[in-house]
A and B are shown apart, each in its own frame.
Chain A
Amino acid sequence: MAQTKRVIASEKVFSLKSFFLQWEWFLLLVFILVNIMNSFISPYYLSGSGLLTATSSFLEKAFIALPMVFVLVIGDIDISVGSTVALSSVVMAECYNKLGVPMGLAIVICLLVGTLCGFINGIILTKFTELFPMIVTLGTMILYRGIAVMILEDQASKNFPSWFSNIFWGKIGSVPYMLIVFIICAVVFGVLLHKTTFGRRMFAIGSNRTASKYAGIEVQKIRLIVYTLTGLFAAVTAIFLTSRMGSTRPNIGEGYELEAISMVVLGGISTAGGKGRFVGAVIAIFIIGFLRYGLGLINTSASAMLIIIGSLLIVAVMFPNLKLGSLIGKKAKKLM
C-alpha cells in the first residue's frame, strides 16, 4: 500500500465572515445601543464625567464577575459569592468597630476572610469530588450569610475612618481608583485566560475533565485555585461596597452571585464550560451596568429593572438556539 504522505495545514486561514460572526460583535452593538439610549436620557451622559459616574454606579459588583468567568469556563458554578461579600464586610467592620483593630489591618482581614470562604468551597469540592458545586455552594451560601447574621444580627456597623471612603470615592484626576484597579485586574484575568498555560488548562478542564486528567493536568488543584480566587475577589467587592456606603449589614451583596453569573453568561461564556472569550464578559459587565444606570436615571422602578435584566439574560442565552439565531448562522456559513 503505497501512500503519499498527507500534508496537514497549520496556518489558520483568516475569514472575514467568520471573524465578524462572533458573539462579541453583537455585544458591542448592544453596548453602543445602550449608550445611545442613555445619552438621550441624560444630556450629560456622554461626557467623561457622565460615563465615569455611570461606571461607579455598578463597578464594585463587577469584581466578582472576573473570577466567575474562570469558574464557568472550568465547568463549575459558585452561588455563595454574595454571602462571602457580606461575611467579609461584616468581619472587617466588627474588627474595626468592636475589636479596635486598625482599619488597615481590618481590610487585610477582610481579604483573608473572603479568601478563606472561597478556599473552603474549593477544599470541599476537591476532596469530595463526587459532590456538585451547585449544592456545596448552596450550603456555604446559607452558612456564610448565616455567620454574618450571627455576628451583626440585624444591626448595621458604621463609623469607619474618613479615609476609608476614599477607597471607593477617591480619584486620580477624574478617574476613580476603583476603575483603575478594575482595568488592571480585568487585563490580568483576560491574559491569564487566553494567553497562558493556566488558561489553556482551564479550558481543557471545562471541555473534558477526564481527558484533562489523562493528559496530566492537575484538575483539582486548578479548581481549588479558582474557587479561592473567587472568594478573594468577593472580599475586594466587599471593601469597595462598604467604602461606598460607609456602613455594612449582614444582608448586603444579596443577589450579587446571580448578577455576576448573568454578566458572565451574557458575555458568551457557556455554563457547560470550556467556551467563551473574556472580552465578551467585560463588554457584558458594562452593558448590564450602564443599562441599569440609564434605567435608574428615568426612575425605572427596581421591579421593572428586575424584569428587564431577567429577560435580557434569557434572551441572550436563547438567541443562538432560536430559529432566528441559527438562521443567521446558517446563512453566514453558506456565504463562507
Chain B
Amino acid sequence: MSVSENDAKYVLELNGITKIFPGVKALDKVHFQLRPGEIHALMGENGAGKSTFIKVITGVHKADEGEMFLDGKKVEFRGPRDAQAAGIAAIYQHVTAYPHLTVTENIFMGHEKVKFGKIMWNQMNNEANDFLKQLRADFSATVEMGALSVAQQQMVEIAKALSMNARIIIMDEPTAALTKTESEELYRITENLRDNGTSIIFISHRFEDMYRLATRVTVLRDSKNIGTYNVNEITNDDLIRAMVGREISDLFPKPEVQIGEEVLRIQNFSRTGYFKNISFAVRKGEILGLTGLVGAGRTEVCETIFGIEEKSEGKVFLYGKEVKINNPTDAMKLGIGYLPEDRQLQGLILDWGIGRNISLPVIDKMSKHGWLNDKKERDLAKRLAEQVDTKAVTIFDKASSLSGGNQQKVVVAKLLSTDLKVIILDEPTKGVDVGAKAAIYVIMGELARQGYAIIMVSSEMPETLGMCDRIIVMCEGKVTGELMRGEATQEIILDKAMAKSHHTTEKEVR
C-alpha cells in the first residue's frame, strides 16, 4: 500500500542513502521524502537504522552513497553546524542539555546574541522567555536546566529549535519519558509547529503517537525503507508485519496459572518524599501490575523493597513472617530479585561478557572459600543464557554488543541465577523491539507457571492489561486503586493514575 510518488515539492528528500560502519550496513539505499508542513512518523525495530537515518539528516554522519535534497536543492553537510544552519534541528531522547547552565544559556549555546563581541544576556533572556511563553511553559528562562523535569527540558529543546529557525524538526522518542498529560501537551506543541509551517519527523515505538499526530509513516527494517504509508489506511497488524517481517499474533501469552499462597506483602510502606502508606501483596504464580504515570513512585517502591534505598516506615512480610531488608544482598538471600529500570546503568556491566554478567550475583556460590570456579561459572552462564534465548554466539560476547532486547534477556538470565521466590520487573520491555518484547512476555508467562510471584512495573497500558492478573495503580506516591484482570480498562486505570487536586504538585524549581 505504498504512496505513489506525486509531484508535490518535498522539503526534504533522501535518494539512495547508504551508510556503512565497519562491519555493518546501517542504511541501505534508503529513499525518503518529507512534505512541507507534514508530520511524518518513522518506525522500526531497534537496530533497523532509525538513529543513523536521523544522524545523516542532522549532519552528524556523512552518507557513503546517495544524495540529500533540501527544497529540491542538493545539500551536503560537513557537520552538525551545516545542518543547523540549513534549518534542521533534532530533539533527542537522551536530553542533550547542559544541566549546570540556565535555560537561556542552553537555548542559545553556540549562537548567543552578540554586540561588538559582547553577549547580550538581557536580550537573550527576554527572547527565551518569549519562546517559553509560546510553548506555555511554567518556568522562566533563568532557571537551571538540571532543576527541570524531563518534559520541561524537552520544551527547552523545542525552544532551542525555534530559536534557530528550524524548518525541519526531528523528534526521537519524544513521549518516552512523559506522563499522559505531558504527552498531550507535546502533541499540542507539535501540531502548533506544523500549523506554523514546520515539517516534523518523529520516531516512536508508540502507535498512539503515530495515529494521533502523523499523516504518513515510513517503516525501516534491516537498514532498508520497507515503505511509506498513509496513517489512515494502515492497521497495527500491517505495521507490525512491516517492522518485523512476520506475523505476531497473541502478543500476550499469559497462561492460566493456578494462583497460590501469598508470598510477599508490604504494609504501610513509606519513604519520605517518595511514597506513603503503600500496602499490597503478591501471590505464587501471580503477575501483579504496578502502574501509574511516570513519577508516581513505582520504581521507588520497588527499589526500597529490594534494599537499594531505606524505608522510613512500614513492614515487609515473606510468607507471612516479617523480614528486614537493608541492602540488596539481604533481599536476594530472601529470594527477592529485581530487574532494574535502566538496564545499561543498573542492570549490566556493559564492558563484560554476558557470562560474567549473568554469574555476578551468585559468584559466591560459584566459588569455594572465595576461590573462583571458572568452569562452574561458565556452565551456569551458558545454561541461563540459552534458557532465555539470548541472541549471542558465545558467553564471552560483550554485553555492549547486544541489542536492547537481548541485553534485557541477559538481565533476566542474571535474575534467574539466584534462587528466587519473588521477581520484580521494572519496565521490562522499555526500549525493546517488538520481537524481543514477545520473547520477554513468553518468559514471564513461563516464570508465572513455574510458581514465581511476579511484580511488574509498567507504563504501557496494553502490556499491563494483557499480562497482569491484578493491577495496582499509584499516583503521586500513594495507591489509588486495585483492579482485577477482568474489570480493568484503560480508562479506569488512567482515571486512577491522574492527580485530582487543584494545587500544583510540580517539583520545586529553584
A associates with B: yes
Cβ contacts under 8 Å, A9 to chain B: 382, 393-395
Which A residues between 40 and 78 are near B, CB-CB below 8 angstroms? none
A6 touches B391 (CB 8 A): yes
A198 and B370 contacting across the interface, CB-CB below 8 Å = yes
Residues of chain A lying within 8 A (CB to CB) of residue B396: 12
CB proximity to A under 8 Å, residues B376-427: 378-379, 381-382, 385-386, 389-396, 414
Q: Does A291 interact with chain B (Cβ within 8 Å)?
A: no
Does A172 lie at the interface of the complex (its beta carbon under 8 Å from any beta carbon of B)?
no
Report A24 CB to chain B, min CB distance, Å: 19
Residues of A within 8 A of B308 (CB): 213-214
Chain B's interface: helix, strand, loop or mixed, by majority?
A: mixed
Contact of B389 with A5 in the complex, beta carbons under 8 Å: yes
A1 to B: closest C-beta gap in Å = 7
Contact of A208 (CB < 8 Å), options: B246, B331, B350, B414: B350
Judged by a CB distance under 8 angstroms, whether B347 is at the interface is yes
- State which residues 203-239 of A face B: CB under 8 Å: 204, 207-208, 210-218
With the chains together, A198 CA to B371 CA distance in Å?
9
- 0/1 interface trace, chain B 468-492, chain A, CB 8 Å (1 if under): 0000000000000000000000000
Report A-chain residues with C-beta under 8 Å of the C-beta of B390: 6, 8
Bound CA span A317–B166, Å: 43
CB-based A-B contact count at 8 angstroms? 96
Cβ contacts under 8 Å, B372 to chain A: 195-197, 200
User: Which residues on A sit within 8 Å (CB–CB) of B381?
Assistant: 10
Asked if B393 contacts A8 (CB within 8 A), the reply is: yes
Please tell me if A114 contacts chain B, counting CB pairs below 8 Å: no
B352 on interface, CB distance cutoff 8 Å: yes
Would you call A204 and B349 a contact (CB within 8 A)? yes
Tell me if A274 counts as interface (CB < 8 A to partner B).
yes
Enumerate chain B residues within 8 angstroms of A216, measured Cβ to Cβ. Answer: 327-329, 331-332, 361
Residues 339-375 of chain B: 1 if any A CB is under 8 Å from the residue's CB, otherwise 0?
A: 0100001111111100110001101100100111000
Report the separation of the CA atoms of residues A211 and B332 in the bound assembly, to the nearest whole angstrom: 15
Top-6 shortest CB links A-B: A10-B382, A9-B394, A10-B378, A216-B328, A216-B329, A208-B349
- The interface of chain A, by Cβ under 8 A from chain B, is 1, 3, 5-12, 195-198, 200-201, 204, 207-208, 210-218, 274-275
Residues of B within 8 A of A (CB): 246, 248, 306, 308, 327-329, 331-332, 338, 340, 345-352, 355-356, 360-361, 363-364, 367, 370-372, 378-379, 381-382, 385-386, 389-396, 414, 438
Q: Offer 14 A-B interface pairs, CB within 8 angstroms, sorted by A.
A: A1-B438, A5-B386, A8-B392, A8-B395, A10-B382, A196-B370, A197-B372, A198-B370, A200-B363, A200-B372, A208-B351, A211-B347, A214-B346, A274-B351
